[in-house]
């Protein structure tokens, strides 16, 4: 049997033949559609979980914030008439509370209950130093007392007193009616970021006091606005904004116009004229970036949602026969940024998007205070 | 595939200019739609190392007794590439150049695939003849 006869036999037997439709045909078609929906739904849920975990991490404070310098104070009470500065209150002895309990007095620097007593500053040089200091402070205190006589107390003020023997400097002197005074001492500590167990005392040397800022400013990353175009097989242009959410991570969203052209069919029998889809897409991405000095490098990933799609061109074609850039698609891009100045930068972002990969080129505005 | 084919028919109905029969035009649309679906699966056109003898057909008697369903089963049992080219050439009447452009292969590959398909079908039919009284 020749080939032509062989072929003709098949044509004769099968021409006009129609196989019966299986009874479960509709169920097969319906089941296939549900699989597609479920597939997209799982991807959307997965993306939502990733975003939710990132946002939760942003607002979860695991350690002690580093905004403030912790201050602890302790008050000691000094009875000007009967006691000296006390062991710890060496400063009072130095400042010479004056009167009977001055430095020279029993309760003063030379007294047993004075700071000198405890620390054994019994040398002549030390005593003379304290006398001088006390004399100076005595003048100041007298002036203060005369000014505020009759008041129960006054607000504290930074004195120019030299630090006491204990190395702790009084912050404020509060006068009371009974001529006793309360001295507030300040122990300054600060907490290292994120580590509540790490506390460090401010070293205060004799004659020095290092003043620290009350608040350590947080280093905030700025919000940026991108304008970009992408001359790819699915050319697009758009605007997007990146909002810092946690450390080097940002949430990126915006709007973009995508033009998807479908190729002329190569089938010589059926000719499909050129056309395109006009899409409006919403990207929802998470970005991570690192500073390079001259710019930044980062990775952006997430999902691009199609909000609207309309056909254009010579003939209208159904959506499903084109490259699947509609619906929801994953996005992964590498962001390379070059600073132009303080507020402007250029960026290039080669990206992968399902059946619509390309390179975005754009201008970035940095919102800086 | 049938649903998508008919959707395309109604979408492109304005492109039918009345040249030739409507049935033939619809058939071509359906074939094109099926080929697009098959192309997504990326069929293999590798030649299978089967000991197919390209010799005279010795099972004409059995061959003539096979009905349409049995022939369809034989064709369905062919590898993807063989089956595609055989259907397009024998059943649909495309030539090798047209098949090559549709399937993105060379004309030589199309001819080779067709020859292999014919040989494999012959061998299957001859094997049927060897089975006792199956089609008697």
> Does A9 contact chain B (CB < 8 Å)?
yes
Q: What pLDDT band is residue A114 in, cutting at 50, 70 and 90? A: very low
Mean pLDDT across A256-271: 61
Q: What pLDDT band is residue A105 in, cutting at 50, 70 and 90? A: very low
Contact A349, A359 (CB under 8 A): yes
> Does B66 contact chain A (CB < 8 Å)?
yes
Which residues, numbered 247 to 276 in chain A, qualify as contacts with chain B under a Cβ-Cβ cut-off of 8 Å? Answer: 265-272
Do residue B101 and residue A13 have CB atoms under 8 angstroms apart?
A: no
Q: What pLDDT band is residue A102 in, cutting at 50, 70 and 90? A: very low
Least confident of A42-56, A67-81, A131-145, A191-205: A67-81
The reported pLDDT for the residue numbered A112 is: 41
Contact A296, A328 (CB under 8 A): no
Do residue A6 and residue B57 have CB atoms under 8 angstroms apart?
A: yes
Q: Which chain A residues are within 8 Å of B8, Cβ to Cβ?
A: 318, 321
Q: Which chain B residues are within 8 Å of A321, Cβ to Cβ?
A: 8, 36
Distance of CA B65 to the CA centre of its chain: 21
d(CA A31, CA A37): 10
The reported pLDDT for the residue numbered A4 is: 84
Q: Would you tell me how many other CB atoms lie within 10 Å of the CB of residue B84?
A: 25
Mean pLDDT of chain B: 79
Q: Which chain A residues are within 8 Å of B64, Cβ to Cβ?
A: 9
> Does B102 contact chain A (CB < 8 Å)?
yes
Beta bridge mates, A67: none
Which residue, among A369, A365, A360, A361, has the nearest Cα to A339 in the 3D structure? Answer: A365
Q: Positive or negative, the Cα torsion across A38, A42, A44, A45?
A: positive
Q: Is A208 exposed, middle or buried (0-12, 13-18, 19+ CB in 10 A)?
A: exposed
Q: Is A331 exposed, middle or buried (0-12, 13-18, 19+ CB in 10 A)?
A: buried
A263 token code pair: 């190729």
What pLDDT, in 10s, does the model give residues A209-259?
A: 444 443 344 456 788 999 999 887 678 899 999 999 988 899 999 999 988
Q: How many CA atoms lie within 13 A of A275 on its CB side?
A: 18
Do residue B72 and residue A270 have CB atoms under 8 angstroms apart?
A: no
Q: Would you tell me how many other CB atoms lie within 10 Å of the CB of residue A96?
A: 28
Contact A259, A281 (CB under 8 A): no
Which residue, among A91, A52, A250, A318, has the nearest Cα to B11 in the 3D structure? Answer: A318
Q: What pLDDT band is residue B30 in, cutting at 50, 70 and 90? A: confident
> Does B72 contact chain A (CB < 8 Å)?
yes
> Which stretch of DSSP H or E encloses residue A278?
strand A275-291
Mean pLDDT across A318-335: 67
Do residue B3 and residue A9 have CB atoms under 8 angstroms apart?
A: no
Listed in sequence order, the residues at least 6 apart from A54 whose beta carbon sits closer than 8 Å to its beta carbon are A245, A246, A249, A251, A286
Mean pLDDT across A268-273: 44
Q: Which chain B residues are within 8 Å of A9, Cβ to Cβ?
A: 63-64
Q: What pLDDT band is residue A110 in, cutting at 50, 70 and 90? A: very low
Do residue A29 and residue B72 have CB atoms under 8 angstroms apart?
A: no
Query: Which comes out higher in pLDDT, residue A321 or B116?
Result: B116
> Does A314 contact chain B (CB < 8 Å)?
no
Which residue, among A229, A244, A236, A198, has the nearest Cα to A368 in the 3D structure? Answer: A244
Q: Mutate one of B8, B78, B86, B122 to test the A interface: name it (highest A CB count within 10 A).
A: B8
* Distance of residue A263 Cα from the nearest chain B Cα, in angstroms: 13
> Does B135 contact chain A (CB < 8 Å)?
no
Q: Mutate one of B12, B21, B70, B126 to test the A interface: name it (highest A CB count within 10 A).
A: B12
The reported pLDDT for the residue numbered A292 is: 85
DSSP assignment of A213-265 equals -SBPPP-PPPEEEEEEEE-STEEEEEEEEEEEEETTEEEEEEEEEEEEEEPPP
> Does A211 contact chain B (CB < 8 Å)?
no
Do residue B28 and residue A10 have CB atoms under 8 angstroms apart?
A: no
CA separation, residue A91 to residues A111, A114, A354, B36 (Å) = 14, 10, 74, 93
Q: Is A317 exposed, middle or buried (0-12, 13-18, 19+ CB in 10 A)?
A: buried
Q: What pLDDT band is residue A270 in, cutting at 50, 70 and 90? A: very low
What pLDDT, in 10s, does the model give residues B104-114?
A: 888 898 999 99
Q: Would you tell me how many other CB atoms lie within 10 Å of the CB of residue B110?
A: 26
Mean pLDDT of chain A: 65
d(CA A303, CA A78): 69
The reported pLDDT for the residue numbered A362 is: 94
């Amino acid at each position: 049997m020749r080939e032509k006869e062989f072929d003709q036999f098949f044509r004769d037997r099968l021409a006009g033949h129609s196989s019966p439709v299986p009874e479960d045909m509709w169920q097969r078609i319906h089941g296939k559609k549900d699989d597609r929906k479920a597939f997209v739904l799982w991807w959307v849920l997965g993306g939502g979980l990733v975003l939710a975990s990132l946002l939760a991490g942003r607002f979860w404070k695991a350690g002690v914030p580093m905004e403030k310098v912790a201050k602890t104070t302790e008050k000691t009470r000094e009875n000007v008439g009967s006691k000296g500065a006390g062991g710890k209150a060496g400063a009072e002895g130095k400042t010479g509370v004056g009167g009977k309990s001055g430095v020279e007095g029993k309760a003063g620097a030379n007294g047993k209950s004075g700071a000198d007593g405890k620390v054994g500053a019994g040398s002549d040089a030390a005593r003379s130093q304290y006398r001088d200091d006390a004399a100076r402070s005595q003048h100041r205190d007298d002036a203060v007392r005369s000014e505020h006589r009759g008041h129960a107390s006054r607000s504290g003020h930074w004195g120019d007193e030299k630090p006491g023997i204990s190395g702790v400097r009084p912050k404020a002197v509060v006068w009371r009616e009974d001529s006793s005074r309360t001295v507030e001492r300040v122990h300054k500590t600060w907490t290292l970021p994120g580590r509540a167990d790490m506390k460090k005392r401010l070293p205060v040397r004799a004659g020095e006091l290092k003043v620290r800022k009350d608040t350590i400013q947080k280093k905030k990353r700025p919000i940026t606005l991108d304008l970009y175009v992408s001359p790819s097989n699915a050319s697009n242009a758009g605007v997007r904004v990146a909002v810092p959410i946690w450390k080097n991570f940002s949430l990126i969203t915006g709007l973009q116009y995508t033009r998807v052209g479908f190729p002329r069919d190569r089938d010589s029998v059926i000719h499909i004229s050129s056309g395109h889809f006009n899409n409006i897409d919403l990207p929802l991405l998470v970005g991570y970036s690192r500073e390079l000095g001259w710019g930044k490098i980062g990775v952006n990933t997430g999902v691009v949602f199609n909000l609207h799609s309309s056909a254009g061109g010579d003939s209208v074609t159904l959506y499903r026969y084109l490259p699947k850039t509609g619906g929801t698609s994953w996005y992964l891009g590498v962001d390379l940024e070059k600073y132009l100045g303080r507020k402007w930068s250029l960026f290039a972002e080669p990206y992968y998007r399902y059946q619509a990969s390309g390179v975005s080129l754009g201008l970035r505005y940095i919102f800086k205070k | 595939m049938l649903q998508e084919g008919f959707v395309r028919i109604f979408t492109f109905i304005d492109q039918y200019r009345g040249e030739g029969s409507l049935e033939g035009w619809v058939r071509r649309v359906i074939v094109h739609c099926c080929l697009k679906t098959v192309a997504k699966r990326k069929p293999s056109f590798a030649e299978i190392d089967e000991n197919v003898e390209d010799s005279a057909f010795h099972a004409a008697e059995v061959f003539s007794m096979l009905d349409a369903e049995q022939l369809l089963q034989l064709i369905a049992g062919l590898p993807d590439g063989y089956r595609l080219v055989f259907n397009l050439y024998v059943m649909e009447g495309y030539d090798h150049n047209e098949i090559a452009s549709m399937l993105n292969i060379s004309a030589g590959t199309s001819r080779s695939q067709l020859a292999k398909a014919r040989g494999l079908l012959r061998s299957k039919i001859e094997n049927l003849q060897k089975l006792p009284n199956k089609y008697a």
